[in-house]
Structure 1
Amino acid sequence: MALLFSNGSTYAQLSDQEMTRRADSLIAQMTVEEKLGQLNQVAGDLSNFKRVAGILPVQFQQIREGKIGSMLMVYGADLTRKAQEAAMQSRLKIPVLFGFDVIHGYRTTFPIPLAESCAWDVELAERTARMAATEAAAAGIHWTFAPMVDIARDPRWGRVIEGAGEDPYLGSLIAAARVRGFQGADLSADNTILACVKHFVAYGAAEGGRDYNTVDVSERTLREIYFPPFKAAIDAGAATLMTSFNEISGTPATLSRFLMTDVLRGEWNFKGMVVSDWESINESRVHGAAKTNDDAAVLAINAGVDMDMEGELYVNLAKEVRAGKVSDAVLNQAVRRVLLAKFKLGLFDDPFRYCNAEREKALVLNPAHRALAREAAQKSIVLLKNDKNMLPLRKDLKTLAVIGGLAESKRDMLGEWEMVGRPEDAVSVLDGIKKQVSDKTTVIYSKGYEATRGKESLSKAGFVEAIKAAKKSDAVVVVVGETADMTGEAHSRASLDLPGVQEDLIKELHTLNKPMVVVLTNGRPLSIVWTAEKVPAIVEAWHLGIEAGNAIADVLFGDVNPSGKLTMTFPRSVGQIPIYYNHKNTGRPINPQNPNDRYKSRYIDLDNTPLYPFGYGLSYSSFEYKNLRVSQREFRGSESVTITVDVTNNSTVAGEEVVQLYVRDDVASVTRPVKELKGFKKLRIGGGETKQAVFTISAKDLMFLDRAFKPTMEAGTFTVFVGGNSAQTLDEKLEYLP
């Protein structure tokens, strides 16, 4: 049954010209109030929406009156069918567009996007988005508010979980892949959903890492760091875009004509629909950028924001439209963009094409989807430390202690934005371990600390039992980190330490001198300096979704050789933030040969270096890089240069290695970062085997924005770096000739 529905059915999609003609014909028949209704997006009944979606009686009536164009937090084939039936009772019979936060899966919950980005697997990102779209579409959903492509350099910000980390190159590739996954090859297929690239723009640069806070970045930083993933998503065909909550250069992004019209539609030729974030138009009054709600709505629609999410301001703009504050051309263009989204999905031909209860039952939580969730979780795990090959553990240990409140938690494995994902679907770390060990192995579980949602546990009451369990065991697995609700939207942290008494527990257990592994389940980089120094084996397991426990056990016991690499830098201390690999140099950079030189850019109480750099991740294999070479040291014009490195697996264990290529423009008319990621290759290398990683670059790969923000290429030297992470590399020189 699942295979029957997996490819989706299509209708004969109209040409863009014909869709526009039909939309304009419809607009010509609409009253001002009906037009404004199409721009109005409201949430359904939120009282228990994660378990039971609902639509209020008054909302059904508003649909019949043409006052609602879109709904969010509404799902289910039967419920969405009822809503469309109400829409068919409206004067013009315009179908409703249903949106939902399908962030990292629908009912089948995949790893949080930050975790999945650590797989450095663009195809995987597309596949998980494709399966998420298939499930969501089967449940009546037309539109996801994803991917989030905000570059994040501050792990205090809770929403780092939703993105791909700190690098614009990798972030751009993943953004495009997820758009392709959600939207498929053809939006007319009934297993595709509209992607919504968000949050435009620089939301991840909130001051202090505090959600919704002010952003103050230069236009150069916008264009070089924060714009590229959005541009990549739009080039991949993203149908919609969402504004961000923050201000840019003194203007709330939702009111910024520079962003929504000049850049988005002018420079990038974006033809799709723009939606505000939740009540972000209303919030522009609190920013101090508008005196009244009506003023805010006028500014937003004139800036280029087509749909008002949950603010219910546009729906009341008739007076301003008739007064000429919003022109007919602006209003009609916004309505046209909304209608075209519905045409592209085939909703005018069949409003009920996403409302198939049989298909929903067959596809949601399908076994094939769970299998992909496990694969994605396996590939997302990053091995941070493995002294003396502590891992993998033997499956036939006599006794194994598993300690930590998070070890038995199913809910926290799902991560935030799990939406309709359910704890009962998930596999805990404890359950995953129990499935893997031999029948002769005794697994002793002790909480040690409470994984309490909503607060950090400060009680050490469980330490005594945890120590007893560890003393009886041949090895100890300690599961620590963050509960899911410590991460995500509105969950910024001022500290990046392990919460509560978790580090104290690790210290107590460490005194027993037992073989010990720390498994981190968290949604952001943490500062774990003591643990990193003292504990022999550390596994970064993130919040991995419904198959978390199985995937973690796969890695712990060696059925899977970890290959993940970090996409965000791990700081030693919160005081180092922002810390990221592709920073600029200074006039007084620290001297590695004399790190205590006083008048340099450094801390007096801490190294400048991160705890774990961008691109870092170990393996049960041992990889060595040798013989970096370039095909030519000088090049010009359209010539390309081939860069080759030998990578040898010095172990007997086959494994995958992400070989990373970085470049520095040594001297330019605009200062350049110390390193920029320009490519990567994922190689599978057998034990004792050597393989070559080959990269090709040309002038177009080395261009940058000049002082007028125009792409340019200047003559001069470049340093090429290749290695297994951003800090440990081989290097060679190139020169571009005029």
Structure 2
Amino acid sequence: MPYEANPADDARIESLLARMTVEEKVGQLGVFADMVRPFAPDVNPEANVRNAAEVLEQVRAGRVGALFNGVGAAQGRQIQRVAVEESRLGIPVLLAADVIHGMRTVFPIPLGEAASFEPELAERTARATAVEATAAGLHWTFAPAVDIARDQRWGRGAEGAGEDTFLGCAFAAARVRGFQGEDLRAHDSLLATPKHFAAYGAVAAGMDYNYVEISEGTLRDVHLPPFKAAFDAGALAVMTAFNDINGVPASANRALLGDLLRGEWGFPGVVVSDYTADMELVAHGYAADARDATLRAFDAGLDMSMQSGFYAAHLPALVESGEVPMAMLDEAVRRVLSVKAAIGLLDDPYRSLDPARETDASQREAHEALARDAARRSIVLLKNKGDLLPLRRDARIALVGPFARDRDNLEGCWTLFGDRSRYVNVEQGLRAALADGAVLDVVDGCAMEAELEGGIEAAVAAARGADVVLLAVGEPQRYSGEAQSRTRIELPPAQQALAEAVAATGTPVVVLLRNGRALALQGAVRDAQAILVTWFLGSQTGHAVADVVFGDFSPSARLPVSFPHDSGQQPFFYNHPRTGRPETPEMSEFKARWREHPNTALYPFGHGLTYGRVEYGATTVAAPALAWDGTLRVCATVRNDGVRATEEVVQLYLHDRVGSRVRPVRELKGFRKVLLQPGQSLEVAFELSRADLAFTRADGTHGAEPGAFDAWIAPSSATGKPARFELLPPA
């Protein structure tokens, strides 16, 4: 819920500010590694390392505003006791961590969960995550990632909601609501931090930490809206991005942090750097040294410095010299203290630090059931030739591939605290669903990146003895996430060779694809009779896969990213601007395409099949024109001609035919998941207003322009026939 200032809190904060030394004020702006509690190792480069005694001494001296990536309620109480009872002013410490898509119970990676097209599902998994994280002694998470990722070479696309801004906004808001709950002061409320502000998903060539060259229109129309949606949902913290934007690093970007975030949007919360991002201003060549970096970052509006120690080392002298006005320092500290007040820490410093609650396992069963449901709702059925799926339980199945028995690649990136003892791999899930385990033959075939001696021979033998092959292949977990950019978004060669050998037997193949991004599928994987995108699904991977494979759950997810024909198409996204030489039949060879491939996706954004057979009627509009201040109903009838009930994601797309800036060929503007029984028809309607047609115009203003528009109600971004309407000018 949106935060409202409390006059009593304001008075307390002003009283504290009046008594604080400059060093204590600067201390509130420092975020440091929590070395007192068990700390998540190997997730960041070492910088400014301290041991537990040194951390506690800094807390005692009032020189720490927050600690991160340590967990444990009992030791968290020890930290807070030192802060509250042994420091001069008794200001509690914020305890934070990277809790991205699950705590002890691990849910699908955010990209996979976005495939559900169910923001309410993300809200429920974030709520469960918050319950577990706060029980483990945390107040604050550095999530959700709301970056729009249009280049699948970039590894951190796994942490967001894909390539579409409309979908990204819906999931950003849902995850904030889920993490924070209805009451920020509740013991199970987890302060959310949308990241990475901003345009991190637009790094050049999909290379992590790279530069960003971007137009103002694209920045505002594509990359900023999910942050605004998160703030409107009540987020009180935001994390800056590592990248520069048109030459100015985000962590020292006054136009971004001051003019837009504070000025235009009126954001009242705290701005925290990503790990040592202020330090990296020197490597960027934007700051001369540590002192200069501190001045530039703080002056631009960066409130809290994570791990570099630059603020502690240099801000006091900058204040003393007058280069940083005391009023500016006070305002940053005021924001930090206001957030601590908003979540109840000033009244109850030991909130979310109850050891008894941490050991309470009463919600474990419910969270595992949610993890299973979230996982199966995230699985996308790309292809199902001849209705090969779902499988009969008496079919002889060869489960082949390095992910068949694997338990180390279920989580996906940025899972620091999962309870691995509860993970269910694919073999376990399938065996649990079978009455006769003898029908399942399991062979690795190869390792993740290397051949196994005799592996292909064993896989071929298993395939020949089976009615169907479940081919469990994909990316190793470490291929996606931070610092995991790829030049070729394909399977490792050893896995591709395994696929080719198995397919050559002639036994039908169902690919179980595990991935943290869209992949360019090749050869036998691309040509398999059926393909399921299973992402990194978390704790309940095996059960979820079995539910879909055997038809206990009809797949209902859709692609939140476009699968290209080839890696070389990147960056590729469905809502690209029109070109003057589009790939149309009437154009000659001089058109927008590659020599090797058309300018299309192998599987487009929004694509996904079900076990039903859903047919779409024509898209219709209620009137030929939309009045400037009016609304317009757009509808279509969908019908399930199959014999199984199915959930269908009905999608609304628009295209502005003429604009002051070249407009995307299509843009998602609505979606609805509907349940259709066999033989059932349902009219699905969306209501449009002028706000749905707005964009950043050529003059830099935001709004709609009168003119002609196309509307599609369709099962993907590449299907359907449009209806046309006109937006009338103001009367």
Change (3 A) 1:250 1:192: same
Query: Where does 1:611-622 land on structure 2 (aligned, <5 Å)?
Result: 611-622=602-613
| Matched residue type, 2:707 | G
SS in structure 2 of the partner of residue 377 of structure 1: helix
TM-aligned CA deviation for residue 620 of structure 1: 0.8
Q: What residue in structure 2 maps to residue 328 of structure 1?
A: 326
SS in structure 1 of the partner of residue 722 of structure 2: strand
Task: For 1:203 and 1:14, locate their aligned partners in 2 and report how far apart those are by CA, in whole Å.
Answer: 30
Q: What residue in structure 2 maps to residue 656 of structure 1?
A: 647
Task: For 2:618 and 2:34, locate their aligned partners in 1 and report how far apart those are by CA, in whole Å.
Answer: 60
- Retained in 2: the 8 A contact 1:414–1:423? no
Residues 674-726 of structure 1 deviation map (CA, whole Å, 9 limit, x = unaligned)? 11111011110011111111111011211222223222222211111110000
Task: For 1:93 and 1:327, locate their aligned partners in 2 and report how far apart those are by CA, in whole Å.
Answer: 25
Equivalent residue pairs, number = 720
Task: For 1:287 and 1:81, locate their aligned partners in 2 and report how far apart those are by CA, in whole Å.
Answer: 39
- Retained in 1: the 8 A contact 2:270–2:303? yes
| Matched residue type, 2:74 | D
Change (3 A) 1:47 1:94: closer
Q: What residue in structure 1 maps to residue 55 of structure 2?
A: 59
- Retained in 2: the 8 A contact 1:678–1:701? yes
TM-aligned CA deviation for residue 569 of structure 1: 0.6
- Retained in 1: the 8 A contact 2:96–2:139? yes
TM-aligned CA deviation for residue 68 of structure 1: 1.1
Change (3 A) 1:457 1:52: closer
Q: What residue in structure 2 maps to residue 695 of structure 1?
A: 686
Task: For 1:354 and 1:440, locate their aligned partners in 2 and report how far apart those are by CA, in whole Å.
Answer: 45
TM-aligned CA deviation for residue 302 of structure 1: 0.9
| Matched residue type, 1:82 | Q
Task: For 1:531 and 1:466, locate their aligned partners in 2 and report how far apart those are by CA, in whole Å.
Answer: 15
Given candidates 714, 718, 735, the residue that maps to 2:709 is 718
- Retained in 1: the 8 A contact 2:37–2:76? no
SS in structure 1 of the partner of residue 636 of structure 2: strand
Q: What residue in structure 1 maps to residue 199 of structure 2?
A: 202
Given candidates 33, 49, 53, the residue that maps to 2:23 is 33
Task: For 1:411 and 1:109, locate their aligned partners in 2 and report how far apart those are by CA, in whole Å.
Answer: 13
Q: What residue in structure 1 maps to residue 47 of structure 2?
A: none
Q: What residue in structure 1 maps to residue 32 of structure 2?
A: 42
TM-score, with structure 1 as normaliser: 0.95
Q: What residue in structure 2 maps to residue 72 of structure 1?
A: 68
Task: For 2:4 and 2:562, locate their aligned partners in 1 and report how far apart those are by CA, in whole Å.
Answer: 47
Task: For 1:712 and 1:703, locate their aligned partners in 2 and report how far apart those are by CA, in whole Å.
Answer: 4
Task: For 1:580 and 1:624, locate their aligned partners in 2 and report how far apart those are by CA, in whole Å.
Answer: 26
Q: What residue in structure 2 maps to residue 16 of structure 1?
A: 6
Change (3 A) 1:405 1:133: same
Task: For 1:635 and 1:482, locate their aligned partners in 2 and report how far apart those are by CA, in whole Å.
Answer: 47
Residues 168-213 of structure 1 deviation map (CA, whole Å, 9 limit, x = unaligned)? 1110011011111111111011110110010000111111111111
Residues 536-564 of structure 1 deviation map (CA, whole Å, 9 limit, x = unaligned)? 01100000000011001100000000000
Task: For 2:316 and 2:471, locate their aligned partners in 1 and report how far apart those are by CA, in whole Å.
Answer: 61
Change (3 A) 1:75 1:440: closer
Q: What residue in structure 2 maps to residue 384 of structure 1?
A: 382
CA RMSD of aligned residues (A): 1.8
Query: Where does 1:11-410 land on structure 2 (aligned, <5 Å)?
Result: 15-45=5-35, 49-50=39-40, 56-88=52-84, 89-316=86-313, 317-363=315-361, 366-397=364-395, 399-410=396-407
Q: What residue in structure 1 maps to residue 517 of structure 2?
A: 524
SS in structure 1 of the partner of residue 224 of structure 2: helix
Given candidates 718, 721, 730, the residue that maps to 1:727 is 718
1:625 lines up with 2:616 in the alignment? yes
- Retained in 1: the 8 A contact 2:548–2:554? yes
SS in structure 2 of the partner of residue 411 of structure 1: coil
Task: For 1:643 and 1:149, locate their aligned partners in 2 and report how far apart those are by CA, in whole Å.
Answer: 29
TM-aligned CA deviation for residue 400 of structure 1: 1.6
1:446 lines up with 2:446 in the alignment? no
| Matched residue type, 1:517 | V
Task: For 2:557 and 2:669, locate their aligned partners in 1 and report how far apart those are by CA, in whole Å.
Answer: 18
TM-aligned CA deviation for residue 51 of structure 1: 8.5
Q: Return 341-350 or 157-166, whichever deviates more.
A: 341-350
Q: What residue in structure 2 maps to residue 9 of structure 1?
A: none
Task: For 1:127 and 1:660, locate their aligned partners in 2 and report how far apart those are by CA, in whole Å.
Answer: 23
Task: For 1:308 and 1:620, locate their aligned partners in 2 and report how far apart those are by CA, in whole Å.
Answer: 51
Query: Where does 1:566-577 land on structure 2 (aligned, <5 Å)?
Result: 566-577=559-570
Task: For 1:342 and 1:550, locate their aligned partners in 2 and report how far apart those are by CA, in whole Å.
Answer: 40
TM-aligned CA deviation for residue 594 of structure 1: 4.8
Change (3 A) 1:350 1:323: same
- Retained in 1: the 8 A contact 2:30–2:65? yes
- Retained in 1: the 8 A contact 2:126–2:179? yes
Task: For 2:332 and 2:361, locate their aligned partners in 1 and report how far apart those are by CA, in whole Å.
Answer: 34
Task: For 1:227 and 1:103, locate their aligned partners in 2 and report how far apart those are by CA, in whole Å.
Answer: 20
- Retained in 1: the 8 A contact 2:473–2:512? yes
| Matched residue type, 1:72 | F
Question: Once the two structures are aligned, what percentage of the paired residues are identical?
Answer: 44
| Matched residue type, 2:293 | A
- Retained in 2: the 8 A contact 1:55–1:74? no
Which stretches in structure 1 are left out of the alignment for 5+ residues? Answer: 1-12
| Matched residue type, 1:77 | A
Task: For 1:494 and 1:68, locate their aligned partners in 2 and report how far apart those are by CA, in whole Å.
Answer: 41
- Retained in 2: the 8 A contact 1:114–1:161? yes
SS in structure 2 of the partner of residue 406 of structure 1: coil
TM-aligned CA deviation for residue 424 of structure 1: 2.3
Task: For 1:602 and 1:474, locate their aligned partners in 2 and report how far apart those are by CA, in whole Å.
Answer: 40
Q: What residue in structure 2 maps to residue 494 of structure 1?
A: 487
Residues 551-584 of structure 1 deviation map (CA, whole Å, 9 limit, x = unaligned)? 0110000000000000001111111111111100
TM-aligned CA deviation for residue 627 of structure 1: 3.1
- Retained in 1: the 8 A contact 2:111–2:158? yes
Given candidates 455, 471, 477, the residue that maps to 2:464 is 471
Task: For 2:304 and 2:664, locate their aligned partners in 1 and report how far apart those are by CA, in whole Å.
Answer: 38
TM-aligned CA deviation for residue 533 of structure 1: 4.5
Task: For 1:611 and 1:196, locate their aligned partners in 2 and report how far apart those are by CA, in whole Å.
Answer: 35
Task: For 1:493 and 1:664, locate their aligned partners in 2 and report how far apart those are by CA, in whole Å.
Answer: 32
- Retained in 2: the 8 A contact 1:460–1:501? no
SS in structure 2 of the partner of residue 320 of structure 1: helix
Change (3 A) 1:192 1:55: farther
Residues 395-424 of structure 1 deviation map (CA, whole Å, 9 limit, x = unaligned)? 122x32111111111221111111111332
| Matched residue type, 2:347 | D
Task: For 2:4 and 2:206, locate their aligned partners in 1 and report how far apart those are by CA, in whole Å.
Answer: 45
- Retained in 2: the 8 A contact 1:98–1:142? yes
| Matched residue type, 2:366 | A
Q: What residue in structure 2 maps to residue 8 of structure 1?
A: none
TM-aligned CA deviation for residue 601 of structure 1: 1.4
| Matched residue type, 1:66 | G
Task: For 2:202 and 2:5, locate their aligned partners in 1 and report how far apart those are by CA, in whole Å.
Answer: 40
- Retained in 1: the 8 A contact 2:446–2:494? yes
- Retained in 2: the 8 A contact 1:396–1:440? no
Q: Return 277-286 or 708-717, whichever deviates more.
A: 708-717
| Matched residue type, 1:582 | N
Q: What residue in structure 1 maps to residue 46 of structure 2?
A: none
Given candidates 477, 482, 485, the residue that maps to 1:484 is 477
Task: For 2:564 and 2:63, locate their aligned partners in 1 and report how far apart those are by CA, in whole Å.
Answer: 50
Task: For 1:463 and 1:635, locate their aligned partners in 2 and report how far apart those are by CA, in whole Å.
Answer: 61
- Retained in 2: the 8 A contact 1:51–1:420? no
| Matched residue type, 1:334 | A
Q: What residue in structure 2 maps to residue 7 of structure 1?
A: none
Q: Return 637-646 or 562-571, whichever deviates more.
A: 637-646
Task: For 1:51 and 1:326, locate their aligned partners in 2 and report how far apart those are by CA, in whole Å.
Answer: 36
Change (3 A) 1:392 1:307: same
